[in-house]
Structure 1
Amino acid sequence: MRILIADSNVLFARLVRLKLEKWGHKVDTALTGAEAWNLARRNNYRVVILDWPLEVIDGGRLCRQVRNLDRGRYTYILFYSERSDHESVMEAFEAGTDDYLFKPFNPLILKLRLKTGKRLLNLEDELLSIASFDPQTGLINYETFARFFRTHLAGAVRYMESGTLMSVRLVNYRDVFETHGYDAATKLMIEISRILPTHLRAADLVARVTDDSYFILLPQTPIENAYTVMQKLEADIAEIAVFAGMTEIRASVAIDHAGYPQEVADPDQIMAHLIPSEASAVRRSAN
């Protein structure tokens, strides 16, 4: 899991980080609340471990701010503190923490509590895989689209109906993510999702299939007729601009397509052809 440690005690943070990395987790550390908040805004951590005494932004405020972030997946928050009084514990839970541990560091206890947190996160992932829609854009997700496309393609083959499957990929997603953070990359994807349906018919279908990609299904539309749609989409997406602070960020997209039915009418092969193996993200189902 991706984990953030926010603790002003350098030695404690180092001990916890080394142990977490030994257990196979990817870990970032912050010694101040401001540094931790900057990291939390720019990355999608599954777990945040924090203490009360943090400069600029204390543990309680940091907990509330992390909990209020607009994320597609839940963040498990764990206080690890020397404060064992009832008021501090209650205040932490009111701020949104999921668990509270007392210092000094006990690796066994932490490992057990993280297992509990992981079970909760796994349950959420399973529920998302069952759900039909991407929580950020409201579009259907990969699994839902794939089930429909397999059925649709079987009918297209049977009745010899031509159609086009298009992919729209934000090629600078990774660069925006690494330079400006998770929120900026997500804003770009949301803005693209608002444009895509504007050039489509009621019978067409749009899905968010990876963190950085969409599928557009154009039934009964030969490839030569789909080029007009592609050109309009490219022109409109080129006008998209979002801001990270004072920095303007533009969308750079690649639009690919595949006609169907093909000689080998395998729907999964057609879809895989349109999702590059180097794509920056995983399918929008359970992840």
Structure 2
Amino acid sequence: MRILVADANPLIARLLRVKLESWGHTVDVEHTGDRAWALAQERTYRMAIMDWGLEGIDTGRLCRQIRDLNRHRYCFIMFFSEHSDHENLMAAFEAGADDYLLKPLNPQLLKRRIKTGKRVLNLEEELRLLSSYDQVTGLISYRTFVAFFRTFLAVAVRNDLPGSVIFLSVENYRQILETNGHLAATKIMVELSRALPVAMRASDMVAKVDDNSFCVLLPQTPEENLGIVTTNIERATSAISVNAAGQEVRPDIAISVVTYPVEQQSAEEILIESNRRSLPQSSPAAE
């Protein structure tokens, strides 16, 4: 796969190029954030490996800009740094990093981390090939979501960085279906499927769970940081309404959450309904 390497130290960059090319990858190297950003706009990379201390455009901003490109194919971003403190780790992941390594780089550890990244990318490719999307909303299916979640769970366990999965249920879905018809209920779900991604970060993942519910994967987002997420959801969904035979219909949304990892629980076990905790949220009901 094509990998972008960005490091101010030419020796480290050269060593990375030699190793990565020996493992069969195509490698482009730059030494400043500005030049790395120029390349990222010109070419599509499946992976980027970057020093945390780049000059010019700093690495955190560079990561956010790569995410904002909104390419159809995901770029797995790995940082490396001499600093192992929690503040630097959180700054990297908040910027959108998928993984983090310490200097000096251990070639065997790097190789294993790249394999983990490739598993994430392979899952995305399988998603593209299998077209595992909900036919109504265009979001990924819950089955596909769980496959992705297994990989994100493994990363969270390895780095001791908790994340969350939010579930959103349209509580008055059956009422809308019975009173206003299938078309109105479908329109409500389609409008929600459009609004939810707008409220999320580029690294978050929205999926359709079943007829009346969605879920959102929030990597590196512990429960205490969910307040801003629920606020963004309320802002994005509060104006949603559809017209059904002259009647304005609005969704009544309930939000629940699970956090991960959970000791000795698999991805499927973590996500079961009995593990979900309700979060307060006010939303207008259907009229």
Structure with greater Cα Rg: 1
* Higher relative contact order, structure no. (Cα contacts within 8 Å, ≥ 6 residues apart): 1
Instruction: Give TM-score scaled by structure 2 length.
Output: 0.49
